[in-house]
Structure 1
Amino acid sequence: MEELLQDFLIEAGDLLSGVDNKLVDLERAPDDRSLLNDIFRGFHTIKGGAGFLNATELVTLCHLTENLFDKLRNGELAITPEAMDVILAATGVVRDMFGFLEQGVQPPAADADLIDRLKRAIAGELVGGTADPAAAEPVQVVEAAPAGQGGPDWNNLFNAVTGLPVAVEAPAQAASLPAAPGTKPEEVVQAAIGRRASDRPGSSAPSGRRDSEKTRDNSIRVDTARLDQVLNLSGEIGLTKNRLNALRSDILNGLNDTETLHALDVAVSQLDLLVSDLQNAVMKTRMQPIGRLFQKYPRIARDLARNLGKDVELVLAGEETEIDKTMIEDLSDPIIHLIRNAVDHGVESATDRRAAGKPEKSILRLEARQEGDHILIMVADDGHGMNAEKLRAKAVERGLITDEEANTMDERQSYNLVFLPGFSTAAQVSDVSGRGVGMDVVRTNIQKLNGSIEIRSQLGKGTTFIISLPLTLAILPVLLVRLGEQPFAVPLSMVREILPIDTEQVQEVGGRATMVVRGEVLPILPLAGLLGWPQERSPEYGVLMHTAELSFILAIDSFAGREDAVIKSLDDFRPKGVAGVTTLSNGQIVLILDMKELLGGAGEFRGVSRAALLNASQSVAVR
């Protein structure tokens, strides 16, 4: 039964997300009967699964909503904002009920006010709720049939499977009715995405094994064609292994003629190719369409815009782009926050848009695409944009930067000020997101995925946030650098080029060693100083690196080329600035450096003097 429950929650969750998206589309195209039929079928399927699990209250709510869908698709009722509000409220409570099932308890009854609104909508009594005013006579509502007395007792069945005590009746559940004007945006987002049972005050979810499990979905759907490819490659590798064993026996027996050695070379080359193909095929099994992540956002954008009195349409693009499954859940909150900010702060009111000569409807675009070995996710609005000068002034006012630092900032650096902890301006960005995190946490979460976030804005035209992520977290392209004979790995995504360090070109600006690269003055940071090691000699090479906050030259002794590192995490002991370890082809273990952590916050960055950089045999600390 537990397996059936998990299958139901996954399938029904996907169906409900699809229903939410189609409802948003239906609001824009109320005459599209095919959309209504799809919505009806999706909800009917959810109700059938709930009935099989004997979730009576969920069946009751689904049945009432299904009655309303049936009248809408048959043309007996008109699609109005009031009808859409009550339908979306019902789907929100259905999602909440999934949370109770996930915790192993029967969902409580939906709020009586929601049930009453559904019945009034079915009867055509909501304002503007009928296609023909003459048809607004009371309609007999068919209630959902109660679960059969001989049916399974869900709580006892679940108890038998998991060993949990039978849960007592949970308190009545508040309906996720449309938010009143002035409701905080984060509350609107919370209502749109639903809550888990354990998040609700008064929840009677039992304690036990399930409470200690991670809340993320660890299952993955894989196309059988990809599994067939993995199976075929495994078979080919087995045949090549047998061939290598035979050749090994021949060589050990003294057969080392040219033909045998050539056959060995061919077999090793074939094995190398097959292993590479198998690695790529296994990586593809982890890849999932990002559209599964995007499904929840049209509903969130719609509810936020309606609550704020704005007309915003969220346009999705690149939903077929595939991304590592392990990233999808970690991306959810940052994207919610960016969409919330765009609707709440980036987009102007209808009055302001008319005054600026813009259409009243604002277009918010959420797009994903693959570029090389990276995935780009863009959240773009057509609002009023960011004012770099005002951002700098606000940061100075709050004591986050000095006047001198503000005067040297270009537009890109000014936009990045919104990522500083504690930065907030009413005109541009709020420090409270739809999930209670600030823009600084958004950037931190993206960086934990080895990604970066960039802001592009044009005053009066709009703002675009660009998130860049690696295709997968399992393999990380790195550049191997050396201090003496000790190699270290740095993420290749941050590397722009490798430069020789000519002592005559090293200058001191503001007490820091710098070099001029194509007209840009860049600070030089010795890797030895970042690690707290003594500097044995003057560095010979510099690696030009770029992060969201700054560009700099990492001073090293030498480098050993590029590798695709398979990351091994350090769970029990992880020194500061170390992201993990990898093993080289020669068996040597190498530390993968977390450059962002080594550099610390932008405010801590100072650099070293020219004398400290060039004088060997002394300990250099990067201040």
Structure 2
Amino acid sequence: MSDFAGMEELLQDFLIEAGDLLSGVDNKLVDLERAPDDRGLLNDIFRGFHTIKGGAGFLNATELVTLCHLTENLFDKLRNGELAITPEAMDVILAATGTVRDMFHYLEQGTQPPAADPELIDSLKRAIAGELGAASAPAEAPPATVTPASGGDGQPDWNNLFNAVTGLPVVVQPAAEKPASEAVVAVAEQSPEEVIKQAIGRRVTDKPGVSAPTGRRDTEKSRDNSIRVDTARLDQVLNLSGEIGLTKNRLNALRSDILNGLNDTETLHALDVAVSQLDLLVSDLQNAVMKTRMQPIGRLFQKYPRIARDLARNLGKDVELVLSGEETEIDKTMIEDLSDPIIHLIRNAVDHGVESAAERRAAGKPEKSIVRLEARQEGDHILIMVSDDGHGMNAEKLRAKAVQKGLITDEEANTMDDRQSFNLVFLPGFSMAAQVSDVSGRGVGMDVVRTNIQKLNGSIEIRSQLGKGTTFVISLPLTLAILPVLLVRLGEQPFAVPLSMVREILPIEAEQIKEVGGRATMVVRGEVLPILPLAGLLGWPQERVPEYGVLMHTAELSFILAIDSFAGREDAVIKSLDDFRPKGVAGVTTLSNGQIVLILDMKELLGGVGEQRGVSRSRLLAGGSQAVVVA
């Protein structure tokens, strides 16, 4: 039974509002660390935290109120100038806000959160008393000198670092061989920096009978189906609905007139005007309804400055995450699916992309590294860019590493350009890390990024310059509900392909087809492109010679899709196939004439990056055979 029976609606409102407030507090704390004299920031932080404490008190969340009250006391002394803002104070504050967020996980499960870690409470009290900095390590010692504890197998235990970076709750049992009194003595002998690092890793103590809250990855499975909509947008939908109702009445009146034999020119013209008006209003209503699904991407961006700050501090790097384009709006259903890919990219930029302070000094760069997270709209697509000013990617080393791991052959490596070499980082199992840690090294992160982006009908591109830095560019459709498609035909059967992948349509003429490496190709503006018959990709027999080619582009490959004909462009309303989805089919749509058409998933049809597909020139021009061969 829920601990908040009868207050479920109030609890949900609190979690939404307090979650936004806490994200704002986290971001402002990161800003405050860079501008410790900004009293306006401190006042904003104090007010935000005070509001969270008030809401928790109304819900009788006693342990949450206790932690909030202590942290608020520290904020109060900082804003009144009674205490100075030090790295140690910021560590304990960020550990406290992290624990508050973990307590929210308990509230989401309908249970009262247990008490915060005593070590964290003790550190807060010491900070309020001004004792935290007294026992701190010398200022010259960089954070990176703190060595993680080793596990039983001698390997570093990165759990604390992982939880500090991701914010996932963790429950750590106290060591059985140490009595409580010894543990307190051990804590007292540790430096505040070590205490805070442990507090970050053990944010909530275990209590008998209280299970750990569901982790973030589990809670994401049960998505929040609520959405905030500007009342102006709802008013627009309401007004358009009223206009459509009036037009419907006009059409009903004209229908009655026509059925009664009134079919003069004036009546038919009035019918034409009413139908045109209805078409325009329905289009406007569709756009207005779509806008109610749109949310500022800044709500997603809010948590990343804290993640970048924690990881950089643990790695001993000075990194500033700069946000841009936070007002850009994106389909709400995409925001949750983008969370993990962007976390991977930011962690990758901080861990791999930017150099250490010593390396940057040697290269003549500022010691502070800049990682940028930017969003903007271009046409019917959203671009999200994660860039760093680090050492960039070495295409030659990437190829050599991929060959060493057996992911590609020497022959494939020799034919790759820089763009294709950069894309090797997306291969499962590929990693340039010398050692495996919890942050990186297993070769799964970037593969997950690409897979999740492709699930959103998007693409990811890498731009890198050696010594200058790397940029990851994610391109996503504006919405998942409507997909612009190009209708192509095999015989009389239409198929839909995403218009975002289409560059141009070309006639296929026999004299322009060349054979390179046993595969039919065409030269388009100096670039040799393979011809891939759609019939072969689908496993259909090729009944005739294709007449047209669609020049298509993915992150890994540019090619010409050979088809019989095409039927124009449509804005497809996607219907998913939940129970049965054949390989290479993203969904279905219904055309204006009522015909049901399959929407093709071209990336799935093409297979992996290293898979070479093609058809010989003779087979392509012969027809009447199975077209595609795989080499």
Per-residue CA distance 1:250-278 (angstroms, 9 max, x = gap): 11111110000000000000000000000
State the secondary structure of the residue aligned to 2:521: strand
Aligned pairs (5 A) from 1:466-615: 466-615=473-622
Aligned partner (choices 390, 409, 415) of residue 416 of structure 2: 409
Distance 1:58 1:322 in 2: 33
Q: Partner residue of 2:347?
A: 340
When residues 264 and 431 of structure 1 are mapped into structure 2, their CA distance, relative to the original with a 3 A threshold, is: farther
Distance 2:126 2:219 in 1: 42
Shift of 1:427: 7.2
Aligned pairs (5 A) from 1:364-513: 364-426=371-433, 437-513=444-520
Percentage identity across paired residues of the two chains: 88
Aligned partner (choices 183, 186, 191) of residue 164 of structure 2: 191
Corresponding position: 1:363 with 2:336: no
Aligned pairs (5 A) from 1:107-118: 107-118=113-124
Distance 2:552 2:436 in 1: 29
When residues 595 and 206 of structure 1 are mapped into structure 2, their CA distance, relative to the original with a 3 A threshold, is: closer
When residues 347 and 213 of structure 1 are mapped into structure 2, their CA distance, relative to the original with a 3 A threshold, is: closer
Per-residue CA distance 1:215-253 (angstroms, 9 max, x = gap): 322111000000000000000000000100111111111
CA-atom RMSD, angstroms?
2.5
Q: What is the count of residue pairs matched by the alignment?
A: 574
Q: Partner residue of 2:100?
A: 94
Per-residue CA distance 1:195-219 (angstroms, 9 max, x = gap): 3689999852699xxx999432211
Distance 1:347 1:186 in 2: 23
Aligned pairs (5 A) from 1:131-170: none
Q: Partner residue of 2:238?
A: 231
| Aligned-partner residue type, residue 582 of structure 1 | T
Shift of 1:194: 2.6
| Aligned-partner residue type, residue 220 of structure 1 | I
Q: Partner residue of 1:9?
A: 15
Aligned pairs (5 A) from 1:221-300: 221-300=228-307
When residues 187 and 525 of structure 1 are mapped into structure 2, their CA distance, relative to the original with a 3 A threshold, is: farther
Aligned partner (choices 94, 105, 110) of residue 104 of structure 1: 110
Distance 1:531 1:99 in 2: 46
Distance 1:260 1:429 in 2: 77
Equivalent residues of 2:105, 2:213 under 8 A apart: no
Q: Partner residue of 1:83?
A: 89
Distance 2:578 2:420 in 1: 35
| Aligned-partner residue type, residue 531 of structure 1 | L
Per-residue CA distance 1:556-577 (angstroms, 9 max, x = gap): 0000000000000011111110
Distance 1:223 1:10 in 2: 16
Distance 1:387 1:345 in 2: 13
Distance 2:369 2:436 in 1: 18
Q: Partner residue of 1:307?
A: 314
Per-residue CA distance 1:298-341 (angstroms, 9 max, x = gap): 00111111111110001000000000000001000000001001
Task: Give TM-score scaled by structure 1 length.
Answer: 0.88
Equivalent residues of 1:496, 1:546 under 8 A apart: yes
Equivalent residues of 1:92, 1:193 under 8 A apart: no
Corresponding position: 1:122 with 2:128: yes
Corresponding position: 1:26 with 2:25: no
| Aligned-partner residue type, residue 191 of structure 1 | A
Equivalent residues of 2:521, 2:530 under 8 A apart: yes
Query: Which structure 2 residue ranges, 5 or more long, are not aligned?
Result: 1-6, 137-142, 149-155, 173-203
Task: Give TM-score scaled by structure 2 length.
Answer: 0.87
State the secondary structure of the residue aligned to 2:376: strand
Shift of 1:405: 1.3
Shift of 1:511: 1.2
Aligned partner (choices 59, 65, 68) of residue 62 of structure 1: 68
When residues 610 and 433 of structure 1 are mapped into structure 2, their CA distance, relative to the original with a 3 A threshold, is: same
Distance 2:438 2:624 in 1: 46
Shift of 1:392: 0.9
| Aligned-partner residue type, residue 256 of structure 1 | N
Equivalent residues of 1:99, 1:197 under 8 A apart: no
Per-residue CA distance 1:152-197 (angstroms, 9 max, x = gap): xxxxxxxxxxxxxxxxxxxxxxxxx999555777853533443368
Distance 2:166 2:72 in 1: 21
Distance 1:396 1:534 in 2: 36
Per-residue CA distance 1:508-549 (angstroms, 9 max, x = gap): 111111111111111111100011111110000000000011
Distance 2:576 2:540 in 1: 23
Distance 2:221 2:408 in 1: 40
When residues 596 and 485 of structure 1 are mapped into structure 2, their CA distance, relative to the original with a 3 A threshold, is: same
Query: Which structure 1 residue ranges, 5 or more long, are not aligned?
Result: 131-176
